[in-house]
Structure 1
Amino acid sequence: MTVVFIHPFQSLCVVLAKKKKSCFVGNANNRRHMDPGLSQLPFTHHFLDFPANRVPRSCVNARPIFPGSQLGVPVRQQHFLLFPKHVVSTCSKFIKKFFSTFEIPHFRIVMPAPSENTLFGMGNPLLDISAVVDKDFLDKYGLKPNDQILAEDKHKALFEEIVKRREVEYHAGGSTQNSVKIAQWMIQKPHKVATFFGCIGTDRFGEILKKKADEAHVDARYYEQSEEPTGTCAACITGDNRSLVANLAAAQCYKKEQHLDLDSNWDLATKAKVYYIAGFFLTVSPPSMLKVAKHASQNDKLFCMNLSAPFICQFFNGAMMDIMPYVDILFGNETEAASFGKQLGFQTDDIGEIAGLTRSLPKDNPARPRVVVFTQGKDPTVATVGDKVTTFPVLDIDQNHIVDTNGAGDAFVGGFLSALVQEHPLEECIRAGHYAANVIIRRVGCTFPEQPDFH
């Protein structure tokens, strides 16, 4: 098997499996040991020397090279060749064609496992509470079997009553928290690649939320206050229907000065290389979003945002456009894209054209062109690739296997981000997003199996 990965020192390592039981670390002075044709690569002058018969210790954060291998110890049946990272980004097609020409099978690219706190998310944390109820319960609180509403005063007792049900499930929720949670699930290890900031209450639900975030291996650093209770979202399940009642409460109380601006928290935030904040947070703390977005732009990092909902595009357009010059990757679905385009006077209903026009909006860091990604449910995902707009088909699924589509958008973003922090190209990020969404819509709520089956 041939494996290619980029280790933390920003070089590309090509590993060639051999039948003979010997090991050699390739370098520019020992080309006679290489396979025929390898010396023809135009990058051999970039080879680096390593101690004979040992895997370079600079690769300690990379995933296992092959079953049973251990990094930093002698290996068998391997050859190592190193290239700088820029070779991969500029010449990946040539490299793949080269290996194909010399009939080296199973060529694939595996990126290194990212370090802790590489991905930063900030948003409205909610504790998702799911329980099976009956029609009388729905009628008592004036709920429809399949609906999504914000809690009113008459729903306050609902949250106290639903937790007394026989089988209750709790999950760390909220749009951004869902996405970073799924990104962490896709990555698996190391834990705490994803960091999350948001506001909760000093109450029982807050303690449960902290526990659930920890179980998801997300490094959640909540701003805790006592004025409002922890935000919750009750999922009242009747048969195949879910009636969602959200009480944002503390989630709307995030204070930049009392949390993000603290040295310890800001130091943690600046460790990230990729930032993601859903548009919903524009209703809570635009100054916090702007601080993070400017930091990303000034330090050549990636800042990602989601349109989140048509009402965000309509009623918070001013705050959104203040952030837009710093947005490197913009997500949304077709409904949100249409609302955004209408608000900006694009005079077109074509999602591809809206994506192209959105890409061309003013940008603070013009050296990094904006990427726009619009999902369309079962229809192909639309994305800007350079100056062009391209579509990417979603995974097929039997309609009978679809259980709940509410978390599909968050899941897509989470899958996308999991590949992005590992520096995969756009096509692979979208493929990861499609996979994650395909998994989540087969289950109730934004939940997932223990491990992903994604390669």
Structure 2
Amino acid sequence: MNTSDIEKAFKPPIITAFGNVLLDIEAIIIDESIIKKFDLEAEAQKEIDEAEYVVLLEETTTKCNIAMRCPGGSAQNTLRWFQWLIQLPNYSVIFGGIGTDDNGEFLERAVTKDGVRTRYAYHQEFKTGTCISFINGKRSLVAHLGAANHYSANDLDIPENWEILKNALMIYVEGFFITHSFEVAMLVASFCHTNGNCFGMNLNAPYVCQKYGDRLLNLMQYADIIFGHSSEFLALSNFIISPVNSPQDVASFIQKRSLLKEKKKRKKNIPPLLQNGPIIIITASSQPVSVFQGLSEDPLVFPVPHLDKAFIKDTTGAGDAFVAGFLSAAFANMDLEKCVKNGCSTSHKIIQQIGVSVPSHSPERSSV
């Protein structure tokens, strides 16, 4: 990927994102009794309140090895890896809520160091959110959102924020964010529709789709590009009237409800691939990636390169990294196949390490 082309073609920021900005704690399980006691399901995510979190954290310190703490949150992870891939600082901006505490200060320093510009809303009355990633071959995520749970339309409604959004080519919203800040998500989706920005979404987790499917389906009408795992698309089936036998059936339903045909304008320098939406991308772990594009009724299917299980250390952030790889290739004017390939390559990189920290070395330019 020739990132000098990105620097020549675009002024920062390219992407702005809204999400739960969290501090990740990577915990390697050494006493498996913690799994049953706290119902830690493999490859699952859940949110708990502060009282539950205090008890869980105490048990974690005795039954796990704490490997590291680093920035987390789905959208924030995607932007950090996007920055690593393009090697151009401040081409992305993250919006979300944090506390005025030590964790918040650490988080902001680390995210800025990774090249992401922060537009955090500071909440003195709440602690910075955290997410414990329990690792036992596979991962289980347990989050206490804290300040991230309280990002409001008032936090957004600052002239400088709207100026940043106006100039960005893409606004991206993670699914976790809509569980508490749906009003904000709808505001930015509508803004994209009238201002010509590309609007992107990630479904993020089956429980989000099961509980907030109506919100997601409303938002997805405005989306130019949607990312999700097959299990997440299936979790939306209860909100769909037509028969659903597969994730592809759900994607087809979403495709037909798109409002993109009514979009009055698009920013002229949005890459061609992202102007042919809706693009609906269904990942399925090691299974092939299915992509619906535009009005095509049949998905394009792309194989996922094999990675031996012996190399997989931690699957935390795999989906976030896929999005980063896909979008970095899209903004480098790669075709769909190369975007998917780069998404898979980036996802493979992150699952061969513990945690979601970006590598200290520069990416290989031959990856796409």
Fold shared per TM-score above 0.5: yes
Following the alignment from structure 1 to structure 2, what is the Cα–Cα distance between the partners of residues 310 and 139? Answer: 20
1:171 corresponds in structure 2 to 70
Per-residue CA distance 1:39-79 (angstroms, 9 max, x = gap): xxxxxxxxxxxxxxxxxxxxxx935xxxxxxxxxxxxxxxx
Per-residue CA distance 1:396-430 (angstroms, 9 max, x = gap): 11121122223211111111121233343322222
- Indicate the structure with greater helix content: 2
RMSD between aligned residues: 3.0
2:257 corresponds in structure 1 to 361
Q: Does the Cα contact within 8 Å between 1:138 and 1:145 map onto a contact in 2? A: no
The residue identity in structure 1 corresponding to 2:309 is: Q
Residue 229 of structure 1, CA deviation: 0.5
Q: Does the Cα contact within 8 Å between 1:439 and 1:448 map onto a contact in 2? A: no
Q: Does the Cα contact within 8 Å between 2:224 and 2:278 map onto a contact in 1? A: yes
Following the alignment from structure 2 to structure 1, what is the Cα–Cα distance between the partners of residues 40 and 207? Answer: 22
Q: Does the Cα contact within 8 Å between 1:184 and 1:194 map onto a contact in 2? A: yes
Is 1:193 paired with 2:91?
yes
353-362 or 333-342, which deviates more: 353-362
Q: Does the Cα contact within 8 Å between 2:132 and 2:142 map onto a contact in 1? A: yes
The residue identity in structure 1 corresponding to 2:185 is: M
* Aligned sequence identity (%): 32
Q: Does the Cα contact within 8 Å between 1:113 and 1:422 map onto a contact in 2? A: no
The residue identity in structure 2 corresponding to 1:382 is: S
Q: Does the Cα contact within 8 Å between 1:278 and 1:308 map onto a contact in 2? A: yes
Q: 1:375 is paired with a residue of what secondary structure?
A: strand
In structure 2, stretches of 5+ residues that fail to align are 264-275
Q: Does the Cα contact within 8 Å between 1:132 and 1:237 map onto a contact in 2? A: yes
Is 1:375 paired with 2:273?
no
Task: Describe how 1:29-428 pairs up with structure 2 within 5 A.
Answer: 62=4, 112=8, 114-132=10-28, 134-135=30-31, 138=34, 142=38, 148-152=45-49, 153-156=51-54, 158-159=56-57, 169-188=68-87, 190-237=88-135, 240=137, 244-257=141-154, 259-366=155-262, 369-386=277-294, 387=296, 388-428=298-338
* Distance 1:436-1:139 versus aligned 2 partners, 3 A rule: closer
Residue 365 of structure 1, CA deviation: 3.7
Residue 350 of structure 1, CA deviation: 2.8
Following the alignment from structure 1 to structure 2, what is the Cα–Cα distance between the partners of residues 125 and 348? Answer: 34
Partner residue of 2:344 out of 434, 439, 442: 434
**Relative contact order, higher structure (CA 8 A, sep 6+):** 2
* Distance 1:348-1:142 versus aligned 2 partners, 3 A rule: closer
Per-residue CA distance 1:122-152 (angstroms, 9 max, x = gap): 0111100224564299489757595754345
Q: Does the Cα contact within 8 Å between 1:143 and 1:243 map onto a contact in 2? A: no
429-438 or 413-422, which deviates more: 413-422
Q: 1:326 is paired with a residue of what secondary structure?
A: coil
* Distance 1:384-1:163 versus aligned 2 partners, 3 A rule: same
Following the alignment from structure 2 to structure 1, what is the Cα–Cα distance between the partners of residues 204 and 218? Answer: 16
Residue 375 of structure 1, CA deviation: 0.5
Following the alignment from structure 1 to structure 2, what is the Cα–Cα distance between the partners of residues 359 and 145? Answer: 32
Q: 2:24 is paired with a residue of what secondary structure?
A: strand
Q: 1:327 is paired with a residue of what secondary structure?
A: coil
TM-score (norm. length: structure 1) = 0.69
The residue identity in structure 2 corresponding to 1:155 is: Y
The residue identity in structure 1 corresponding to 2:247 is: I
* Distance 1:213-1:281 versus aligned 2 partners, 3 A rule: same
The residue identity in structure 2 corresponding to 1:250 is: A
Alignment size in residue pairs: 348
Residue 159 of structure 1, CA deviation: 4.1
Q: Does the Cα contact within 8 Å between 2:329 and 2:342 map onto a contact in 1? A: yes
Q: 2:280 is paired with a residue of what secondary structure?
A: strand
Following the alignment from structure 1 to structure 2, what is the Cα–Cα distance between the partners of residues 140 and 425? Answer: 45
Per-residue CA distance 1:187-241 (angstroms, 9 max, x = gap): 11x2011100000111111111111101211111110111110000123556x46
* Distance 1:383-1:260 versus aligned 2 partners, 3 A rule: same
TM-score (norm. length: structure 2) = 0.84
Following the alignment from structure 2 to structure 1, what is the Cα–Cα distance between the partners of residues 32 and 286? Answer: 35
Following the alignment from structure 1 to structure 2, what is the Cα–Cα distance between the partners of residues 269 and 322? Answer: 21
Q: 1:246 is paired with a residue of what secondary structure?
A: strand
Q: Does the Cα contact within 8 Å between 1:131 and 1:168 map onto a contact in 2? A: yes
